[in-house]
């Protein structure tokens, strides 16, 4: 599989062109998209214009950026001017944003070529990409199984070698979980490190945009490109993008790495063995492994499924058939709004809106939403105490390998448990990274997770690179 770094190098040195790389990408998409349902929209003409502009700039001797000519897939909850953006929901069918998300502008400025929009669970609510209004995405490693969610399309694009890199969003594990199930690298950055301007909100205090790739170095490069302060996002950290790629080979010598039992207990034996194997690999590379318990993390799932639906209830109130998106006519405004939302939203989105509205309602706010916020504070404080003892935390990304279609769709709680190890990091706002390490049942990849305190991405990439080498993927 080509890496983004190699593509950019080849385009810059003239051994390839942006147009040639794009055409190869479009051919791969055409060959597999009907089978896998990865892309909801492919921007053939617009991507060709951008690729030609990169080649023309190189011909003029101009600098074209670190992602020169690299095709990239974009999750369909990120706005791109004039490109259909649906959040995999019927309620936004046909909507074309009049502006770009900040991350899109930064990609184009770095020479990347966005090729299209990828499938997701509707409004990023799900763990399998089975909740899309446009049909499920299939796992390229085994099309009878899910790719994870909600960023299943973006993960599958990389796993199927359609693109070397892609963008997803992570609210409770929606980058890391599909990365684990598809056998690739996925990163949830520190909250505020990447601008959310132009991202269609699910849960504003949890959402964060991040990279997918087949290698640790590619994710480091992509995160460098999209990170940094943005005045258009009030939650954006007031600092420039960190240096990440330069630290990928720093190693872990002298680092203290916490092996946290709450982040792997209850997993399949193969997943537990992979986590222990990763701990041993880090020890052999010079790290000290410290066994830790953070019991507060067991409360994360319950808190998340009150906080996120509450924020979703508020954020999704704007989809009313009045200003944009789908409209179903009714006898009066109230009937029109009810008919529009009934027809436009899928079952999982309706479930979470109702749960969130209930949690915020008079008489229940303190008992549910207020309590969840207290648990969030407990989680933040527990992580802070742990990071006084260790530099990095190690655990599993998911309790098991990719599961079959329909296996958990009828049981929301069984589906939600897929995110039990990823959610605590979102509650805390800290960074975390998933990468493949070992194999489980059916020879499917297992994802291990590295967590760190805020702004610790550089040391997470260094530790991930160490594991990448140990797993024979260097």
Q: Which residues are catalytic?
A: 75, 150, 174
Backbone φ/ψ region at 312: left (φ over 0), alpha (ψ -120 to 50), beta: alpha
Task: Using alpha carbons, select from 419, 474, 468, 462 the residue that is nearest to residue 127.
Answer: 419
Of the chain, the end-to-end C-alpha distance in Å amounts to: 12
DSSP state letters, 182-233? HTSEEEEPPTTSB--TTBPPS-TTT--EEEEESSHHHHHHHHHHHBS--TT-
Q: Within 13 Å of residue 105, how many CA atoms lie on the same side as its CB? A: 14
| Residue 367 DSSP class | I
Residues 357 and 232: their CA atoms lie apart, in Å, by 28
β-pairing verdict for 392-396 and 113-118: unpaired
Cα dihedral 252, 67, 186, 295 in deg (nearest 10): 60
* List of residues 6+ apart from 310 with CB closer than 8 A: 356, 359, 360, 369, 372
The alpha carbon of residue 2 and the mean position of all alpha carbons in its chain are separated, in whole angstroms, by 21
Which residue matches tokens 């949690």? Answer: 359
For 394, list phi and psi in degrees, rounded to 5.
Answer: -120, 140
* List of residues 6+ apart from 363 with CB closer than 8 A: none
Residues 381 and 295: their CA atoms lie apart, in Å, by 12
Backbone φ/ψ region at 135: left (φ over 0), alpha (ψ -120 to 50), beta: left
Hey, which bits of 366-470 come out as E strands?
A: 392-396, 432-439, 445-451
Burial of residue 369, with CB atoms counted within 10 A of its CB: 0-12 exposed, 13-18 middle, 19 or more buried? buried
The helix, strand and coil proportions of the chain, stated in percent and rounded to the nearest 5, come to 45, 15, 40
């Amino acid at each position: 599989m080509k890496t983004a770094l190699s593509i950019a190098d080849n385009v810059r040195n003239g051994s390839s062109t942006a147009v040639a790389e794009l055409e190869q990408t479009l051919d791969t998409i055409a060959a597999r998209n009907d089978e896998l349902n990865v892309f909801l929209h492919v921007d053939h003409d617009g991507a060709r214009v951008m690729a030609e502009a990169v080649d023309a700039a190189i011909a003029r001797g101009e600098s074209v950026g670190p992602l020169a000519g690299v095709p990239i897939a974009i999750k369909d909850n990120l706005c791109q001017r004039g490109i259909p953006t649906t959040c995999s929901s019927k309620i936004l069918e046909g909507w074309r944003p009049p502006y770009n998300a900040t991350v899109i502008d930064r990609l184009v400025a770095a020479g990347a070529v966005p090729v299209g929009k990828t499938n997701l669970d509707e409004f990023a609510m799900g763990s399998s990409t089975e909740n899309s209004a446009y049909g499920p995405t299939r796992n390229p490693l085994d099309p009878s199984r899910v790719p994870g969610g909600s960023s299943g399309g973006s993960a599958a694009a990389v796993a199927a070698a359609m693109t070397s890199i892609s963008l997803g969003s992570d609210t409770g594990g929606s980058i890391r979980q599909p990365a684990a199930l598809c056998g690739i690298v996925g990163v949830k950055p520190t909250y505020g490190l990447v601008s959310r301007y132009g991202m269609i909100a699910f849960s504003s205090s949890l959402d964060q945009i991040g990279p997918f790739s087949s290698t640790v170095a590619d994710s480091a490069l992509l995160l460098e490109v999209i990170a940094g302060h943005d005045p258009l996002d009030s939650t954006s950290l007031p600092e420039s993008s960190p240096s990440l790629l330069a630290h990928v080979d720093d190693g872990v010598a002298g680092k203290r790495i916490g092996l946290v039992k709450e982040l792997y207990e209850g997993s399949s034996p193969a997943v537990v063995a992979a986590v222990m194997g990763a701990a041993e690999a880090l020890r052999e590379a010079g790290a000290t492994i410290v066994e830790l318990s953070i019991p507060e993390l067991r409360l994360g799932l319950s808190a998340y499924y009150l906080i996120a639906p509450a924020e979703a209830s508020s954020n999704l109130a704007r989809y009313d058939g009045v200003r944009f998106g789908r409209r179903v006519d009714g006898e009066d405004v109230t009937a029109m709004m009810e008919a529009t939302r009934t027809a436009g939203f899928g079952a999982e989105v309706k479930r979470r809106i109702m749960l969130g509205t209930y949690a915020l309602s008079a008489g229940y706010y303190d008992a549910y939403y207020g309590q969840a916020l207290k648990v969030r504070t407990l989680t933040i404080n527990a992580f802070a105490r742990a990071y006084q003892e260790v530099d990095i935390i190690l655990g599993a990304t998911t309790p098991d390998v990719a599961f079959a279609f329909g296996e958990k769709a009828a049981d929301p709680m069984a589906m939600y448990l897929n995110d039990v190890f990823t959610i605590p990091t979102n509650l805390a706002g800290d960074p975390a990274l998933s990468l493949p390490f070992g194999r489980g049942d059916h020879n499917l990849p297992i994802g291990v997770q590295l967590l760190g305190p805020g702004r610790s991405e550089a040391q997470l990439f260094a530790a991930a690179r160490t594991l990448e080498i140990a797993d024979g993927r260097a």
